[in-house]
Structure formats: structure tokens, C-alpha cells
Amino acid sequence: MTAAPQPKSKMVICTHEFFPFRGGAATYSEELAAALHRAGEDVEVWAPDCGGLGAVDGFEFPVVRLPAGGSLRFGDMIRFAVQIAARRKQLEEATVVLTSVGAHMVFMVLVPLGRVKCRRVLSVLHGSEILRFQKNGFWKFWARRFFPRVECVLTVSKYSHSLIERSFLSPLARRIVIAPCACSTAAMRPCGAAARNDDKIRVLTLARVHPRKGQLDTARALARLPAESRSRIVYQIGGIGDTSYLRQVAAVCREAGVAFEHLGQINPDTLASTYHQCDICAMTSRSLPKSVEGFGISYLEAGYHGKPVVGYRSGGAVEAVVDGETGLLVNEGDISALADAFRRLLADSALRQRLGEGGRRHAAKFSWDATARVIKSGLEGAR
């Protein structure tokens, strides 16, 4: 007799960052949930309330909004943990996918203490979590007790995979599988040709405003260009974050005579058109002791819109950007080389077009549906 197939278990994607918050973990959580839903999985997202938006989320999959804050502050994390523990019965037969550092911190304590039991746990590590756990004795203690219970560790790039292999997590992980990022759905929405009434070259950075994203390095590189080139540039920053850091960026541009525009937080409805209207995308992400660019979805999204990218050879950026084919990469912190990369792109429209076309081809290699298949294949193998 053929054994009856086992019923699918519910998949709960747990994250402390989710819409309306915008960032890599939030995008990964949303797009993965949508792809698993399309693939026929019974999936829902558990995330902090962030202002009572549950009724207007508009997602095709259920979103359980927990009355807890969406930050890594101690009070918010305690409230998040309390809400998870209160719903432990719902998790006993569920496959839980942890997609943010905050979700990991909660489950790393609750699971070893026996306060939460799940059918399976999958861990998605983007990169910075690995560094954080490696360098913090408290979290290293709990990670050693938690990760042997994890069915599979998923990571977003070869670089992040190598971070795990070089860390204390390597002997603890049963399996490590690369489940890469792709362009967000919002970035791929159709948009018309940008209306331009000037001959300016727009350099765009779409990222959280933070030293790790390197906006100040980009501004300093643009400031080193000849006066004629500086007069042609508009440096645009989309995103919110560290206001004092933003003021530093604006000051460098102002002193150098580079036009500067802070676009603020970019609405998903205008994300595609924001990419489309620029000429060059720049994200000079830096590696910090506890934070690193695991991949960089923005690099792919710029390529999707045919925009050349300028960045550093830092973290997973070397996989998101193919140097000389989709953009130009220079060594981290080399402002002179960075300025030269901008100079080349400003002077050569054919180079901008060639790299942009390469970006389109590269972005097409990634899809969230393929990532969902990677995860489903791993689960079916475990069953």
C-alpha cells in the first residue's frame, strides 16, 4: 500500500521588520511569503503592529499583527517575545521561518527554554545577524543552544554562506542553503518614461540613511570631480534614518556645488519611477564590525531598470553587481577610485547604456518563485 501523503503544515514567517517598514529583511519576508503563497503553501506572516495597519495591509496572504514594537530596543523585544509565547499553541504544528534578527533573538531564547515548540524551524541569515551573534557573548550563548534545533539555515548569498562557515555557527547548522533575494514587486511595476526638463545627470542612492550604506562616501567622491562635472550632477537620496548623518552628506554636496535632493521615504507606488528617472545608482555600502551588506536588493532593482551601479567590493555586493558588466566596483573606502568611476560614467553615455543592459540581464536571473522552490525542496527532503 502507498502511504498517504502527510498534510502540509502551516508556514509562519516571523519577522520584527515588515510593512510599512522598508528594508532588506522586510522585503525578503513579504516577497517570500507571496511566492510561497503562489506555490500553494499555507503561509502567514507574524510581525509587529507598527500602528494598527493590519486591516489595510492588502496582502494575498494573512498577516498577523502582534501588539509589539518593531525595533530591537529591550522593551519592544520583550513585548514581541511575550506575544509569541502567548500564541505557542498555534506554532506546535507549524513550520516557522525566521527572517529578521529580532525574530531570531526571540526564538533563540524561547525555544531552548521550552516556551515555544515548533514542528520545524528555518533560519534566514542575511549577514549582519551572524556578526552580531559572533561578537556578543549573550547571544552566542543562546545561539549555541538554538541552532542545533534548526532544520535548515537559509542564507541570501555566497558571501553570507561563507560568513556562516567561518563562524561558530558552522558546526551547529544541520544544513546551509542559499535562498537568494530578487527585485521587489514594487520595483518592477510598469512606469512611463521620465519627464526631464534639464540635462542633469541624476545619481541616486535608495537605502536607509546610515553610515553603513555609505552615502557620505558617495558625496565625497562626487565632490572630487571637476567643477564642470559637479555642475551637471544632482545627488538624490531616497530613504530615512540618521538625520545628523544626512546633514553631513548635504553639507559636503553644498560645499562642492553639487545639487542635492533628499527624496524622503519612497512610497512603493513610486519606487519603480524613482529608479527609472535616475541615470546612475550608487550604494557604497561599508562593512562595519556588526553589520554588513549580505547582498543588496537595490543593486538588482537598479539593474532591472537599466541603470548602471557604482559600489564597493564589500560583502555580498560583488554578487549583486558584476564589475564591468552591470556596474563599477572599487575597493571599500577608496574615494579616489570611486570618483574615477563616477567620472567614467558621466563622460561616457555608451558605457552607462552597456552596463545598464547588463544589469537587466543579471536581474532577470533572480526570482522569488525560484527562492520559494529552494525552500520547498528543502522541506520536502526533510519530510
**Each residue of 65-113: pLDDT tens digit?**
999 888 899 999 999 999 999 999 999 999 999 999 999 999 999 999 9
Report the interhelical angle of 215-223 vs 243-256 (nearest 10°).
Answer: 10
Same domain, yes or no: 206 and 149? no
Q: How confident is the model at residue 55 (pLDDT cuts 50, 70, 90)?
A: very low
Mean pLDDT, rounded, for 35-54:
84
Using one digit for the tens of pLDDT, what is the confidence trace for 2-26?
444 455 689 999 999 998 888 889 9
Residues 223 and 258 in one domain: yes
Same domain, 121 and 259: no
Q: Is 2 inside any structural domain?
A: no
- Domain presence at residue 238: yes
- Give the range among 60-69, 140-149, 323-332 with minimum mean pLDDT: 60-69
What per-residue string of b and e applies to 288-315 under the rule 16 or more CB within 10 Å gives b? eeebbbbbbbbbbbbbbbbbbbbbbebb
Residue 4 included in any domain: no
Residue 330 lies in a domain: yes
pLDDT in tens, 165-204: 999 999 999 999 999 999 999 999 988 766 677 889 999 9
Shared domain for 136 and 206, answered yes or no, is: no
Residues 136, 64, single domain; the answer is yes
Residue 129 lies in a domain: yes
The residue type found at 234 is V
Could you tell me the CATH number of the domain that includes residue 106? 3.40.50.2000
Number of domains in the chain: 2
SS (H, E, C) 5-42: CCCCCCEEEECCCCCCCCCHHHHHHHHHHHHHHHCCCC
Task: Point out which residues pair with 237 in neighbouring strands.
Answer: 205, 262
pTM: 0.92
Judge whether 6 lies within some domain: no
Same domain for 262 and 335, yes or no, is yes
pLDDT at residue number 193: 64
Same domain for 230 and 128 = no
pLDDT of residue 54: 45
Together in a domain, 176 and 247: no
**Residues pairing with 27 in the sheet:** none
Residue 36 has pLDDT above 50, yes or no: yes
CA angle, corner 10, sides to 124 and 99, nearest 5?
Answer: 15
Q: What is the reported pLDDT for 2?
A: 47
The mean per-residue pLDDT over the stretch 293-306 comes to 95
Residue 339 shares a structural domain with residue 202 = yes
Are residues 90 and 54 located together in one domain of the fold?
Answer: yes
State yes or no: pLDDT of 342 exceeds 90: yes
Q: Which residue range(s) make up the domain with 305?
A: 186-363
Q: What Cα–Cα distance (Å) separates residue 250 from each residue in 162, 258, 292?
A: 36, 9, 24
Q: Residues 150, 175: one domain?
A: yes
Whether residue 5 is contained in a domain is answered as no
The answer to whether position 1 is within a domain reads no
Same domain? 140 vs 197: no
pLDDT at 114 over 80: yes
pLDDT the model gives residue 380: 65
